[in-house]
């Protein structure tokens, strides 16, 4: 080493003097400590990063608010839509009763009036039908009966006249036959000279007279047959004219019958609407109108199929992709210590605004949700049968 001032090399004794040695050691210690600190900081940072990635739990559930309801939701039974105000006259059910589809649950106060209108409509149908029958007949029954009797009389007269004339013809035929025999016998006697010419000619004249009478009788028989047949045909034609009715009159009478039947059917429907019937099998959940009360917008009663209960969960649209049919679900009550079990049956087909609200005001924001229908098991159905519309918390296992 060279000394800058003296131009001489630094001796080894100078380097190993205590002050110089201490300064060198301190410098090396500071440098080493700094390097160790940097390495330690990097190691701690890596450990924190690894520990943070390990500690984040895997999300295995989807939570949501829900409500309990029967299968098919609650059905409000009410009077049919009408311009008149309806009032309950008889109530045939109580809360908790089991009902069948089609069972009458209430009778309205307009039943008697509508029943009378229906009976009147039935009588109008009978009147219209009788008028149609009379129109088709075309005349009074007396006229038809008189003409029918005339035809029968003519037929009887014809048969009598023909029979009498046939008898006359038969008698004359016998006379002709006898005259032929007499004439032949007298011809023989004349040839033998036993009788005169005048006697022979008288017998021939008798034969000719008998033959002429027979011919006239046969001709009269034909005239009687033809004339009587003509009279009967004319009488039958007159009967047809009496009973014949213009088609337009028949159609008008038939239209009146159809109108009366339509009015009767309308009256029947109105009468049936005075009987309020259950639309399905189920249980009466709540009664809104008692006998004598007007029917409000709430209807008469709520009916639900409590034999199978459901929970409808409002799942955030951001979580709906994790939900699938068949997933197990646990349901707990917000205000009652109940726990229910079920499975996801189906998801809704539209996104809507959230209806249910949380007890935490900060979480009640305008969220968008999809309804998920959860079918409860048999035991849970029995527990929830009397808790329709209760708000619950839903935990879906994904």
Instruction: Give, in order, the Cα–Cα distances in Å from 344 to each of 330, 355, 394.
Output: 10, 20, 11
Domain limits, the chain:
12-55, 61-66+305-397, 139-244
Phi, psi of 343 (to 5 degrees): -135, 155
Instruction: Decide: residue 133, CB within 10 A, 0-12 exposed, 13-18 middle, 19+ buried.
Output: exposed
Structure tokens, 73: 């939701």
**Helix, strand, coil proportions of the chain in percent (round to 5)?**
50, 25, 25
Identify whether the C-beta of residue 339 lies closer than 8 Å to the C-beta of residue 376.
no
For 364, which DSSP code?
A: -
Give the strand pairing for 339-353 and 282-287. unpaired
Instruction: Give CA 377 to chain center in angstroms.
Output: 32
pLDDT in tens, 250-309: 899 999 999 999 999 999 999 999 999 999 999 999 999 999 999 988 999 999 999 999
pTM above 0.85, yes or no: no
Which residue in 328, 368, 366, 321 sits closest to 347, CA to CA?
321
The superfamily in CATH containing domain 61-66+305-397 is Efflux pump adaptor protein, beta barrel domain (2.40.30.170)
Phi, psi of 271 (to 5 degrees): -65, -45
DSSP string, 331-353: EEESSS--EEEEEEEEEEEEEEE
Instruction: Give, in order, the Cα–Cα distances in Å from 73 to each of 52, 96, 344, 389.
Output: 47, 16, 17, 10
pLDDT in tens, 48-59: 555 545 555 677
From CA 253, how far away is CA 86, in angstroms rounded?
37
Beta-strand (E) ranges in the chain? 61-77, 88-91, 98-99, 104-108, 275-277, 282-287, 301-316, 328-333, 339-353, 368-376, 391-397
| pLDDT by 10s per residue, the chain, length 398 | 444 444 444 445 444 555 555 666 656 665 656 555 555 556 655 565 555 455 556 778 999 999 999 998 889 999 876 656 789 999 999 999 999 999 999 999 999 999 999 999 999 999 999 999 888 776 567 777 888 888 898 898 888 889 999 999 999 999 999 999 998 999 998 888 888 888 888 888 999 998 999 999 999 999 888 888 888 888 888 887 777 667 788 899 999 999 999 999 999 999 999 999 999 999 999 999 999 999 988 999 999 999 999 999 999 999 999 999 999 999 998 777 889 999 999 999 999 998 877 655 555 566 899 999 999 999 999 999 999 999 999 999 98
Contacts of residue 380, defined as CB under 8 A and 6 or more positions apart, other chains included, come to: 309, 331, 340, 341, 342
Spatial strand order of the sheet with 275-277 comes to: 88-91, 104-108, 275-277
Identify whether the C-beta of residue 397 lies closer than 8 Å to the C-beta of residue 328.
yes
- If you count them, how many residues does the chain have? 398
């Amino acid at each position: 080493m060279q000394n800058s001032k003296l131009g001489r090399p630094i001796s080894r004794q100078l380097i190993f003097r205590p002050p110089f040695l201490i300064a060198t050691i301190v410098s090396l210690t500071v440098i080493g400590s700094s390097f160790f600190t940097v390495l330690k900081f990097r190691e701690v940072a890596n450990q924190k990063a690894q520990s943070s990635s390990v500690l984040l739990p895997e999300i295995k559930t989807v939570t949501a608010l829900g409500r309990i309801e029967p299968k098919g939701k609650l059905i409000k039974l009410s009077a049919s839509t009408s311009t008149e105000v309806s009032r309950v006259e008889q109530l045939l059910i109580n809360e908790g009763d089991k009902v069948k589809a089609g069972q009458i649950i209430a009778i309205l106060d307009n039943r008697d009036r509508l029943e009378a209108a229906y009976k009147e409509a039935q009588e109008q149908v009978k009147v219209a039908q009788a008028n149609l029958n009379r129109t088709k007949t075309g005349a009074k029954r007396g006229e038809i009966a008189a003409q029918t009797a005339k035809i029968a009389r003519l037929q009887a007269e014809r048969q009598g006249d023909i029979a009498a004339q046939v008898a006359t013809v038969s008698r004359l035929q016998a006379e002709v036959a006898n005259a032929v025999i007499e004439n032949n016998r007298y011809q023989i006697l004349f040839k033998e000279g036993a009788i005169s010419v005048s006697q022979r000619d008288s017998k021939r004249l008798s034969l000719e007279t008998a033959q002429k009478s027979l011919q006239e009788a046969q001709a009269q028989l034909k005239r009687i047959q033809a004339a009587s047949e003509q009279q009967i045909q004319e009488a039958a034609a007159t009967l047809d004219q009496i009973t014949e009715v213009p088609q337009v009159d028949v159609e008008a009478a038939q239209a009146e019958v159809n109108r009366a039947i339509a009015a009767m059917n309308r009256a029947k429907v109105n009468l049936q609407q005075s009987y309020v019937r259950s639309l399905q099998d189920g249980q009466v959940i709540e009664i809104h109108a008692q006998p004598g009360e007007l029917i409000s917008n709430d209807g008469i009663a709520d009916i639900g199929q409590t034999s199978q209960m459901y929970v409808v969960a409002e799942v955030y649209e951001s979580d709906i992709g994790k939900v699938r049919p068949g997933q197990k679900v646990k349901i707990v009550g917000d205000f009652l210590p109940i726990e229910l079990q079920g499975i996801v049956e189906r998801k809704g087909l539209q996104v809507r605004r959230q209806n249910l609200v949380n007890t935490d005001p900060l979480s009640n924001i305008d969220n968008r949700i999809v309804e998920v229908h959860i079918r409860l098991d048999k035991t849970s159905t029995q527990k929830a049968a009397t808790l329709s519309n209760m708000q619950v918390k839903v935990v879906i296992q994904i």
